[in-house]
Amino acid sequence: MAATQRIASLEEVPRESTFLFRVADELGDEREAILVANGVESTEETASADGVSCWLNYCQHFTHIKLDKGDGAPMREGEVICANHGAYFDADSGECTFGPCEGAYLTELEVTVDDGGIYLVDDEYEFVGTGPVDTDDADLTSTSNVEF
């Protein structure tokens, strides 16, 4: 399952939000993940993964709830923000720096960058496709008063 799989190009990862895609775990269950390009300038020449990170798209406050509302989580000043109750996660380390799960870490997926492309190289997950999981209705009732 550890084959290198292309997720997206660096150009496709928004700088003010995250790039949403789907992975399957070892049991074949689909989950959502997000790519973050924190502080990465627009470039096709970038050859390292510095500033590029990848996380499962589930909060550490309620771990069955997605960070976003279906189109990637917002980012502000190098932090990923949970759209539900406003927890902040450092985009590089995944640590919650503010909010109800402060001190907890997002679940990291291993990626690498090569010639402007971002590839999933994680032993536990394989790339399925871009966008949200169609059948994931775990958090559709969640409401938010957080404005971005």
**3-class secondary structure for 107-145?**
CECCEEEECCEEEECCCCCEEEEECCCCCCCCCCCCCCC
Closer of 51 and 78 to ligand FES (Cβ):
78
Length of the chain: 148
Closer of 14 and 100 to ligand FES (Cβ):
100
Closer of 22 and 61 to ligand FES (Cβ):
61
72 sits near ligand FES (criterion: CB under 6 A): no
Beta-carbon-side half-sphere exposure of residue 142 (alpha carbons within 13 Å):
23
**CB contact at 8 A, 32 and 118:** no
87 sits near ligand FES (criterion: CB under 6 A): yes
Binders in 28-67 for ligand FES, by CB under 6 A: 59, 61-62, 65
Determine which residue in the list 82, 91, 111, 113 makes contact with ligand FES, applying CB under 6 A: 82
Residues that bind ligand FES (CB under 6 A): 59, 61-62, 65, 82, 84-85, 87, 99-100
